[in-house]
Amino acid sequence: MACAKPGHEGGCFCGAVRYRVDGPIESVTHCHCNSCRRSSGAAFVTWFTVPRERLAWSKGGVAQYPSSPGVVRGFCGTCGTELTYANDQAPKTIDITIGSLDCAAGHPADRHVWTADKLDWLRLDEQLPAHEGWSTEG
């Protein structure tokens, strides 16, 4: 299902937090790092990355906590859905969970990162580039 509107909308599971992202979604990454796994409770987390000024909260806002030095994760304070990842080392961009997007199905991932932390039993989509650590390359 592709997005019908020029912007993209999404939010948490319970609906208390809603957001809008203007413009295209160009970078979608499966992250296998330990922090993503532990903070979400899922085997890995898929993020899309956008310039921070393109994200606007249309309802509510995220509760936040530092998950490692220089990193702040945002989640719904009511239902707990993980929503954002902001890293001081990338001050112009923010990551948002692809699963929180209303039209997630229209935005396939383009790479894997932190495969050094990947669960052994998880089989990757081998068509995609995979990086042992962090990478902005495809």
Convert residues 11-40 into a mask of x (bound to Zn ion by CB under 5 A) and - (unbound).
-x-x-x--------------x-x--x----
Element (DSSP H or E) covering residue 40: helix 34-40
Element (DSSP H or E) covering residue 15: none
Residues 68-87 binding Zn ion (CB under 5 A) are 76, 78-79
Q: What's the Rg (C-alpha) of the chain?
A: 14
16 or 55: whose CB is closer to Zn ion?
Answer: 16
Element (DSSP H or E) covering residue 65: strand 63-68
Q: Does 49 bind Zn ion (CB under 5 A)?
A: no
> Which positions touch Zn ion (CB under 5 A)?
12, 14, 16, 31, 33, 36, 76, 78-79
